[in-house]
Chain A
Amino acid sequence: MCKWATESFFASLAYVVASFLTFEVLMPLQNMFFPEYPSRASLLFLPHGVRVLSAWLLGWRAIFALLPGVFLVFAVLGGADVFLQSRLMAIVIAVTTAPAVFYVLKWVGWDLFPRPDRKPCWICVMGVGVITSILVSGLTNLAFNSATAEYIAYLIGDISGLFFLMLGLYFAFRFTDSRR
């Protein structure tokens, strides 16, 4: 029980921090440098990276671990609208798609989950990130009935978000190692 609470706390915290960075730091920069860009979608959506890495590390438990964080972010962004059917659908899609993709791949014989006796494949995790992004973008845009431009923007934002989150984690680990 304590382990689940710890997982949920850290996964949700990571999601909230990634969302804060995306909406409060990166989006204003995006609007400053690309003022003519019409979409409201972020071109560097870090929370997608949190979704994929949580699913890779925690498996199906990522659904419950991320749920509080995802709900909180939707509530902050949408206010009382978070209880609209489309928003609730988007929350469900956001937390379930990445674990589902990992399990479907495992089911077809491509088990990417971490194991102590083998090296992880970051390109494969990126691949899952791309598949998840296509599914999440498609399903979310169906839920919100968005335009095609939004769909493309979600895709770019998710893929770049996953890559730069992993790169950021890499440099964070390197920084902490150098300070030991």
Chain B
Amino acid sequence: MTEISKLTELRKLMQSMERTLGLEKLSPVERDIYYAAEELSKAAQEVRTFGLIEHTLVQSVSRPTFFRALKSLVEQGYLSQSGSANRGRYIVHAPR
């Protein structure tokens, strides 16, 4: 595991704590999609919707819930649509 992924794992641990203590701003599905996007963004700058849907953390989420949560994440600024012509690609941003 690289240094940066150790930091990611530590952040994930804190986020699981955040969830239990009720300190979070995101819903559980939004959080899972955001975790998945963060994970996938390590390999490529842009994250594809297809890759997100296939991710282990998101597999059990229904399509309508997934797209609602994805839209909410874009509205809250956690993800943004990629500027390239190809739709269905997102850029991950740090939580505000």
Contacts and interface: CB of A to CB of B under 8 A. Distances in A.
A131 interface: no
B95 interface: yes
A131 to B, nearest CB: 17
Contacts of B17: 122, 166-167, 170
A140 B1 CA distance: 32
A116 B57 CA distance: 10
Interface stretch (A39-47, A68-76, A149-157, A172-180): A172-180
B39 A121 contact: no
Interface string A34-78: 000000000000000000010011100000000000000000000
A interface SS class = helix
A170 B56 contact: no
Interface string A111-130: 00010111111110100000
Contacts of A146: none
Interface residue range, chain A: 20 to 34
B64 to A, nearest CB: 23
A31 interface: no
A164 to B, nearest CB: 12
Contact of A173 (B1, B9, B11, B20): B11
Interface residues of B, number: 23
A6 interface: yes
Interface string A85-121: 0000000000000000000000000000010111111
Contacts of B11: 173
Given A116-B5, A122-B20, A173 B14 contact: yes
Contact of B13 (A125, A174, A177): A125
A122 B13 contact: yes
Given A119-B32, A119-B57, 5 more contacts: A53-B13, A121-B16, A122-B16, A169-B10, A169-B14
Interface of B: 1, 3, 5-6, 9-14, 16-18, 20, 23, 32, 35, 39, 56-57, 94-96
17 contacts: A6-B3, A53-B10, A53-B13, A57-B1, A57-B6, A57-B9, A57-B10, A114-B6, A114-B9, A114-B12, A114-B13, A118-B57, A119-B16, A120-B9, A170-B23, A173-B14, A177-B95
